[in-house]
Amino acid sequence: MKILVCITHVPDTTSKIAFTDGDTKFDTTGVQYIIGPYDDYALARAVELKEQTEGSITVLNVGTAETEPTIRKALAIGADDAIRVNAEPTDSLFVAQQIANAVKKEGFDLILMGRESLDFNGGMVHGMVGELLGIPSVSPVMTLDMDGFTAKMTRETEGGKESIELDLPFVAGCQEPIAEWKIPNMRGIMSARSKPLNVIEPTGNDQGATLEKYELPAAKGAVKMVSADNVQELVDLLKNEAKIL
Amino acid sequence: MSILVFVEIAEGKIKKTSIEAVAYATAMGGEVTALAMGDIDQSELAALGNYGATKVIHAGDSRLNDGVILAYANVITAAMKTSGANTLVLANSSLGGSVSAHVSIKMNASLVSNVVALPETSGDFKVKRSIYTGKAFATVVLNKANKILAIKKNAVEIKETGGTASVESFEADLSDHDFLTKITGVQKATGDVLLPEAEIVVSGGRGLKGPENWGIIEDLAKALGAATGCSKPVSDMDWRPHHEHVGQTGVKVSPSLYIAVGISGAIQHLAGVNSSKYIVVINKDEEAPFFKAADYGIVGDAFEVLPKLTEAIKAANQ
Ligand SMILES: Cc1cc2nc3c(=O)[nH]c(=O)nc-3n(C[C@H](O)[C@H](O)[C@H](O)COP(=O)(O)OP(=O)(O)OC[C@H]3O[C@@H](n4cnc5c(N)ncnc54)[C@H](O)[C@@H]3O)c2cc1C
Ligand SMILES: Nc1ncnc2c1ncn2[C@@H]1O[C@H](COP(=O)(O)O)[C@@H](O)[C@H]1O
């Protein structure tokens, strides 16, 4: 089974979000980058599936050269090779088209992604790639097991979950508890250095939406503290001030 | 402008987030047609007129009772073409997200998800969306003639117009390909109130010490008609089911009231709750970072405070 895992290169979950250049650029000062946490789940499951069924894992990122340490980390976790499409990932449609092009060229049986990217939280790229390739997409996927060419999955819904059966090929957007995040070991880190990381140039420049400006939410007012001995005061505040009860 | 709104059905009713989508489209102005799929009472559909839809088209094919993404995307695309709508509005739900992505390719449309406000249409068509899990917003310009907006919960107020809508049935050509994804079972989440759509959420963290102590969380939730949630370590340790995990890597909630009990307020947790209208924090450590994000706080032991609070709320409800 040839598995493709699409990974994002995103600010660490503890990053302080700030903007520069008249609120048109993300402020990268002091920001650490990681593999998107949902992509990390997808990668972890891919490594487990590879152990069970044999096959290969390719990771793909649409990004500039700065993302290479993140791609190397994915190689250290267990991917066999990597593709970087050399472009700024400014738009989901553009990114989806680059991923779909790579899949058409290389041919993959299973395309795993995260349920959403941590920066834009679009939750769109998997569905777009599925449609561009004319194959189904499923997201958010909580479990995925292979039985020959058929995958058995559970998908989370607002009301609970669904059990799904679907034959390869398809695209899945993953979330926990599909697998546990894997930490690269020393051998993985050493071997990652020599694994192939192929850089390809993007095709086309179709953009669905263009950023105009960023904005931070309004600062929260000060917290009102209520004594633990007087919970009635909290009930009164919720009733009269917040008008909730 | 002609707008199509895709509405989702759960338990024979139109979902509240879908009613918000109808209200959103109505507030945009223009002709609003709603599209529903699967089995549902005609009267439920006609009632969408009360939120501004003039017409409802109903694809009643029973194969559409389950949310099969490809089939839904095809029906929506056909409905957009038939009704001449160049704009699709829908709730940013677990299903709506994937469905809208497929439709965006079929219709060559600009798709924006997590939309939090009405668009500006005086010049370019612009809309504000939430990014970085609610830690920021971005205003984006939609470049294409066809547009899809997936609306985040609570982005608009639901207004009743007193109208009723006409209901027409709709048939789209569906092939086996549309049903490749087989839904073999549906498992309902436990609890009466669903977390992602709840108006009030009571969440517990590691401060509760163990799953056996969740009774005090459930009692408070019950008194409030609230859903229950938890922090990530709590679901990682299997004290609570995974679908209750709130935060950046879990469920994002936007209730009117979020009550956090014994949760420290790590940035990843806050990211899942920062669009709540009011936040109450109960923690025994006055230095807990969650207090900085709260509207109301109590420093105290959950095991003492919660039963008292539950009683006070029950009394207030009487
Ligand atoms: C990539 C990544 C993603 C993550 N995503 C998420 C996420 O989506 N959601 C999430 O929640 N976390 C997430 N985390 C974990 C997060 O960083 C914190 O570790 C977690 O939120 C802490 O959970 P907690 O507040 O329940 O536990 P703790 O941090 O241990 O806090 C327990 C709190 O309970 C209080 N307490 C103890 N006893 C009592 C008592 N008797 N009465 C009242 N209060 C008491 C303590 O003062 C303390 O503040 C993520 C972490 C990473 C690295
Ligand atoms: N620039 C990118 N490069 C590779 N994969 C991506 C990129 N952006 C998004 N993806 C994949 O698409 C998923 C959903 O992203 P999004 O639609 O942006 O929320 C992510 O979890 C990734 O798996």
- DSSP 8-state secondary structure symbol assigned to residue B246: B
Q: Is B141 within 8 Å of chain A by CB?
A: yes
Task: Name the closest residue on chain A to residue B91, using Cα atoms.
Answer: A158
* Confidence bin at B258 (pLDDT 50/70/90): very high
pLDDT for residue B193: 79
Share of chain A above pLDDT 70, in %: 100
What's the token pair of residue A214?
A: 């960023």
Domain boundaries, chain B: 2-179, 195-317
Query: Average pLDDT of B119-138?
Result: 93
Answer whether A226 sits within 8 Å of B101, measured CB to CB: no
Do B2-179 and B195-317 show the same overall fold?
yes
Task: Give which of A63, A208, A123 is closest to B144, Cα–Cα.
Answer: A208
Kindly report whether the global pTM for this prediction surpasses the value 0.80. Answer: yes
| Atom of ligand 2 minimally distant from the CA of A116 | 19
pLDDT for residue A232: 96
Task: Assess if residue A226 is contained within a domain.
Answer: no
Task: Assess if residue A231 is contained within a domain.
Answer: no
- This model of the complex carries an ipTM of 0.93
pLDDT for residue A216: 94
Answer whether A231 sits within 8 Å of B312, measured CB to CB: yes
pLDDT at position B138 over 80: yes
Answer whether A228 sits within 8 Å of B101, measured CB to CB: no
Chain B interface test: which of A40, A90, A158, A239 (most B C-beta within 10 Å): A158
Residue B171 CB neighbour total at 10 angstroms: 12
| Atom of ligand 1 minimally distant from the CA of A12 | 1
Task: Give which of B63, B90, B290, B92 is closest to B183, Cα–Cα.
Answer: B63
CA distances from B35 to A123, B7, B57, B82, B207 (A): 22, 6, 5, 12, 46
pLDDT at position A120 over 90: no
Q: Reduced to 3 states, what is the DSSP secondary structure of residue A82?
A: strand
pLDDT for residue B243: 86
| Atom of ligand 2 minimally distant from the CA of A114 | 21
Query: Average pLDDT of B287-311?
Result: 97
Residue B249 near residue A37, CB atoms below 8 Å: yes
Residue A114 near residue A45, CB atoms below 8 Å: no
The CATH classification number of B2-179 equals 3.40.50.620
Domain that holds residue A26: 2-214
Task: Assess if residue A171 is contained within a domain.
Answer: yes
pLDDT for residue B179: 95
Query: Average pLDDT of B106-115?
Result: 97
Measure in Å the smallest separation between the Cα of B12 and chain A Cα atoms. Answer: 13
Rounded to a whole number of angstroms, the distance between the first and last alpha carbons of chain A is 55
pLDDT for residue B309: 97
Query: How are beta strands B136-142 and B126-131 bridged, if at all?
Result: antiparallel
The Cα–Cα gap between B189 and B196 comes to: 11
Mean pLDDT value across chain B? 94
pLDDT in tens, A39-92: 999 999 999 999 998 899 999 999 999 999 999 999 999 999 999 999 999 999
Query: Average pLDDT of B45-69?
Result: 94
Measure in Å the smallest separation between the Cα of A52 and chain B Cα atoms. Answer: 23
Answer whether A214 sits within 8 Å of B131, measured CB to CB: yes
Task: Assess if residue A26 is contained within a domain.
Answer: yes
pLDDT at position A2 over 90: yes
Residue A89 Cβ inside 6 Å of ligand 2? The answer reads yes
pLDDT in tens, B61-73: 999 998 899 999 9
Question: Pick the residue with more confidence: A34 or A220?
Answer: A34
Q: How far is the CA of A107 from the centre of ligand 2 (A)?
A: 19
| Best probe residue, ligand 1, of A8, A10, A12, A13 (max atoms within 8 Å of C-beta) | A13
pLDDT for residue B196: 85
Residue A149 near residue A167, CB atoms below 8 Å: yes
Q: Would you tell me the crossing angle of helices B302-317 and B215-224 to the nearest 10 degrees?
A: 20
Residue A174 near residue A113, CB atoms below 8 Å: yes
Query: Average pLDDT of A182-200?
Result: 95
pLDDT for residue B119: 96
Task: Give which of B256, B235, B24 is closest to A175, Cα–Cα.
Answer: B235
Q: Which of A164-173, B10-19, B149-158, B172-181 has the highest mean pLDDT?
A: A164-173
Find the CATH number of the domain harbouring A68.
3.40.50.620
Chain B interface test: which of A238, A239, A241 (most B C-beta within 10 Å): A238
The Cα–Cα gap between B103 and B5 comes to: 13
Share of chain B above pLDDT 70, in %: 99
* Length reported for chain A: 245
pLDDT at position A118 over 90: no
Residue B33 near residue B167, CB atoms below 8 Å: no
Q: Reduced to 3 states, what is the DSSP secondary structure of residue B186?
A: strand
Task: Assess if residue A38 is contained within a domain.
Answer: yes
Query: How many domains does one find in chain A?
Result: 1
Task: Assess if residue A230 is contained within a domain.
Answer: no
| Weakest mean pLDDT among A11-20, A223-232, B186-195 | B186-195
pLDDT at position B257 over 90: yes
What's the token pair of residue A14?
A: 């503890």
pLDDT for residue B160: 93
* Confidence bin at B17 (pLDDT 50/70/90): very high
- According to CATH, the topology of domain B195-317 is Rossmann fold (3.40.50)
Task: Give which of B94, B99, B113, B130 is closest to B6, Cα–Cα.
Answer: B99
Task: Assess if residue A167 is contained within a domain.
Answer: yes
pLDDT for residue A221: 86
Residue B153 Cβ inside 6 Å of ligand 1? The answer reads no
* Confidence bin at B40 (pLDDT 50/70/90): very high
Q: For atom 8 of ligand 2, which residue has the closest CA?
A: A8
Residue B77 near residue B106, CB atoms below 8 Å: yes
| Best probe residue, ligand 1, of B132, B195, B206, B282 (max atoms within 8 Å of C-beta) | B206
pLDDT in tens, A153-188: 999 988 789 999 999 999 999 998 999 999 999 999
pLDDT at position A197 over 90: yes
Residue B283 near residue B299, CB atoms below 8 Å: yes
pLDDT in tens, A203-214: 999 999 999 999
